[in-house]
A = this chain, B = another copy of it.
Amino acid sequence: MKTAIKALCLFTLFCGVANAEVASTDEVMFKMDANGDLIKPEGYREWVYIGTPVTPNDMNNGKAAFPEFHNVYIDPISYKHWKEMGEFREGTIIIKELVSVGSKAATSGQGYFMGDFIGLEATIKSAKLFPKEPNNWAYYSFSNKDHSLPVNPTAKAFPTASCAACHQAAAADDMVFTQYYPVLSAAKGGEKSKPE
């Protein structure tokens, strides 16, 4: 019990520090625990959806690096900033929820249809928290290796080499693959850049 209370106090203290660190820019929609690990965000399915790539096994010789749907969301505060400024603000969090391929045929035709939730990942941009990461993005995964549920309640940041290289090389906007996220492309930087 004492341990639990101590952990809670440390957690509260840390959150205070973490919030103070990013308070100069704006409210953020994520929290770290006493170890500096990211706590699994809640309510992200009601954030702003931005797009879904799918790279299934049967299109990648049975060995896809990412064989599931990736449902991608941005927190609503950072979406508002993106719409106005066309950039990812300090404190942006983007969520990637992994969904299995559930079916390949329906009354609408042959294709890919979503099955079950099987994992959860996130990336956060913060110059204050991640001054040494490329463009200040850190990457996290709450998923289990076998994609079983529940996912983990906290996650450590990946080493830089694990994720940043592909994002630096191929993503259209500040290491984010906006070229595959039409909601972001259409909303970028205000009305002037919106397609008719």
Contact = CB atoms under 8 A, between A and B. Distances in A.
A115 interface: yes
Contacts of A52: 52, 69, 71, 114
B99 A59 contact: no
B109 A55 contact: yes
Copies of this protein in the complex? 2
A49 B69 CA distance: 14
Contacts of A64: 109, 111
Given A102-B180, A182-B99, A195-B116, A110 B55 contact: yes
A86 interface: no
Interface in A124-153: 149-150
Given A53-B108, A53-B111, A111-B54, A45 B183 contact: yes
A158 interface: no
Interface in A34-91: 45-46, 48-49, 51-56, 59-60, 64-66, 69, 71, 73, 76, 79
Interface of A: 45-46, 48-49, 51-56, 59-60, 64-66, 69, 71, 73, 76, 79, 99, 102-103, 106-117, 149-150, 166, 169-170, 177, 179-183, 186-187, 195-196
Given A53-B112, A65-B108, 6 more contacts: A45-B187, A46-B48, A52-B71, A53-B114, A56-B111, A115-B182
